[in-house]
Structure 1
Amino acid sequence: MKSLLDIASALRARAKRISITQDELGGAAGISRRTLTHALSGTHDIKLTTLMAVADRLGLELALVPKGAAQAMPAPDEFGVSPPVVKTRVQQMLERGKGPKGTDSSSGR
């Protein structure tokens, strides 16, 4: 994440995914409605402790990783969920051009 807007977007997506209201989230994090609104808007600089409290109540963990490692991580979807890193056997077969049970998917057999 490279900006406050990215962080706010991830927090909003997670809150939506777990169906928590702003009132519930603010109460659980011990912050005012205004402070939570600022955190979720991405337009105000917020205290690190506020971010940690909100993330914790959303079931998220803050982590610092080297930039190279962060760039290698897949981007989360609109619900804040990253796609799986390990491919399924079907995905691997399709990428090799083979359909299920070893058939060649390009020839239709």
Structure 2
Amino acid sequence: MKSLDDISCFLRNELSEKAFNYDALDTELGLAEGTIVRILDAAGDYSVVELMVVLDRFGLELDIFEQIALKKMKEGPADPAPELTVKTKVQIAIEHVRAQSASPKEN
């Protein structure tokens, strides 16, 4: 998200299924009257602290990433995942069975 409009749109979508009395929510969160509406309408500026209080109330979080790192996360890995170096018990058992079947049988 790159703007207050983006943040407001995201929050409106997240909260659209929940019915809230915004004045009561302002009071519950210790915010000035009209803060929730201002955030959801992207009307004017609001503080990062106000935003974080609202995000926390709804189980959301604000993270900051370097632009290059964020681009890489969005694009996904460039190469296939590396082969696991720690084998699972199932992999060990399969290798054991294969080794037994490949070795000459004693009669």
TM exceeds 0.5? yes
Show the counterpart of 1:12: 12
- Post-superposition shift, 1:38? 1.0
Show the counterpart of 1:32: 32
Which stretches of structure 1, 4 residues or more, deviate above 6 A after TM superposition?
A: none
Give aligned pairs, total.
74
Show the counterpart of 1:73: 74
Q: Indicate how the Cα distance of structure 1 residues 59 and 25 shifts in structure 2: closer, same or farther if over 3 A, else same.
A: farther
Give the TM-score taking structure 2 as reference length.
0.57
Mapped contact 1:28–1:57 kept (Cα < 8 A): no
Structure ranking higher on relative contact order (CA contacts 8 Å, 6+ apart):
1
- 5+ residue gaps, structure 2, are 77-107
Task: Give, in whole Å, the separation in 2 of the partners of 1:14 and 1:25.
Answer: 15
RMSD across aligned positions (CA) = 2.3
Mapped contact 1:8–1:41 kept (Cα < 8 A): yes
Task: Give, in whole Å, the separation in 1 of the partners of 2:16 and 2:25.
Answer: 11
Task: Give, in whole Å, the separation in 2 of the partners of 1:64 and 1:23.
Answer: 29
Give the TM-score taking structure 1 as reference length.
0.56
Mapped contact 2:55–2:61 kept (Cα < 8 A): yes
- Post-superposition shift, 1:32? 3.2
Q: What's the secondary structure of 1:73's corresponding residue?
A: helix
The structure with more radius of gyration = 2
CA-to-aligned-CA distance 1:25-62 (integer Å, 9 cap, x gap)? 32332213411111111131101110110111111011
